[in-house]
Amino acid sequence: MRTLTVLLVSLALLTMACITNTSGTHDSTQSPQSYQYTCDFLIYNVQGKFQNKMRIEATHTRGLPGDMMRWNQASIAFGTSLDGEFTPPMKQPYMENFAYPATQSKNMLTGDFYKGFPATPIGFMMRGIVVDVHTFDIMIPFIDNLELNKTFRCISNTMNMDLFEHQGNQNLKNLDLTWTGNSQMNGKSCSVIYFQSSVDSVSITVPGANYDSSTIWWGNIWVTPGDKQIEYATIYEHTVIVPPDSEAKIKDVQSIYRTLTLKKMNK
C-alpha cells in the first residue's frame, strides 16, 4: 500500500515540471542562501475519506562557490491519521550533498541529471522536489513585467512535454502571475507574487500500468524587488489521480492535497 501511495503521489510532483522548459535565472553574485523545503501530502478518496499522508523535507542551498546548488538532509515520513504524528523520517542518503551548477538546472527533466538516485517510487519523488524549487526561479524573470493587481500570463497555449526520460507527460495550458502588493519577510521589503495554473492533465507510465490525472496549483512568492531573492514561497495543489481500471473501481481514485513551503533559514 505504501509503495502504491508513493507512486500515485509522484504524479503530483510532475505538475510543475513543464514550465522548466522556460529558461529561469539565478543571481550568482549573491552570498549562499539556505532554505528549508517542506511538502505535506494529504490523500483522500473521491468521497472525501482520509486515507494517509506523507511529508518530504530537505535543505536547499544556493549561491555556493562556482554558483553551485546543493541538497542535504532529505527525508520522507508517512502517517495514517489526519491529526496523528508522522512516522520517524526515512533519510535519503543519495541526496546528501547532491550538487550541480545553477546553469545545469535546465537539465533537471533528464535521467542523467539524477545520477545515484534509485529507480524506485521514492527516488522518483525526490527528483520532484528539485523541480519544485526551480519552478520558483523560472517565474522570477517575469516580475519586471508585472503591474499591481493586473494578471500577467507568463505561459500561454498548451505545452506538451515528455518528463523524466518517458516516465511522464505534462500538458500545461496557462500560468498566470499577479503582483498583489508589498510586504515584509525576514526583515526585508518584498513584492508578493501570486501565481496560478490552469487545470492541466498529467500522466505517468510504469511497467504494466498507466496513471492519468488532472491538477491545478497556485501559491505565492515573497521576493526582494532589487536583487530578486526569494525570502519565502508556497505552493498549494489539488490533484485527482485515476489508476488503471478505475471505471470498475471508482473507490481507487485518489484526491491529493499538497502544501509546500520554502523558508529561508539564514536571515
Taken in order 166, 171, 176, 182, the sign of the CA dihedral is: negative
d(CA 76, CA 161) in angstroms, rounded, equals 28
DSSP strand pairing (159-163 vs 168-172): antiparallel
Looking at per-residue pLDDT, the higher value among 120 and 64 belongs to 64
CA–CA distance, 205 with 37 (Å, rounded to integer)? 27
Radius of gyration of the chain (CA): 18
Looking only at the bridges linking them, the beta strands covering 188-197 and 200-206 are: unpaired
Distance of CA 182 to the CA centre of its chain: 24
What digits encode the pLDDT tens for the residues 166-204? 455 556 678 899 999 999 999 999 999 999 988 877 776
Question: For 211-238, what is each residue's pLDDT tens digit?
Answer: 777 889 999 999 999 899 999 999 999 9
Pick 60 or 104 by higher pLDDT: 60
Range 41-49 average pLDDT: 90
Question: For residue 115, what are the domain limits?
Answer: 2-264
Residue 3 has pLDDT above 70, yes or no: no
Rounded to whole angstroms, the Cα distance separating 75 from 88 reads: 9
pLDDT > 50? residue 23: no
Nearest residue to 132 (alpha-carbon basis) of 254, 226, 219: 219
- Asked if 115 contacts 98 with a C-beta cutoff of 8 angstroms, the reply is no
- pLDDT confidence of residue 208: 60
pLDDT at residue number 11: 52
Number of domains into which the chain is organized: 1
The mean per-residue pLDDT over the stretch 105-116 comes to 79
Phi first, then psi: give them for residue 84, nearest 5 degrees. -85, 180
> Is 267 a residue whose pLDDT tops 90?
no
Nearest of 131, 160, 120, 108 to residue 12 by alpha carbon? 131
The tally of CA atoms less than 13 A away on the side-chain side of residue 103 is: 3
For the cut 60, the answer to whether the pLDDT of residue 4 exceeds it is: no
Residue 138 is predicted with a pLDDT of 84
Mean pLDDT of all residues in the chain? 83
- Structure confidence at residue 228 (pLDDT): 92
- The Cβ of residue 22 has, within 10 Å, a number of other Cβ atoms equal to 15
pLDDT reported for residue 166: 46
**Quick one: cell of 179?**
503582483
- The two beta strands, 159-163 and 151-155, are unpaired
As a residue count, the chain comes to: 267
Q: In the chain, count of helices (H) and strands (E)?
A: 2, 14
**What per-residue confidence (pLDDT) applies to 106?**
75
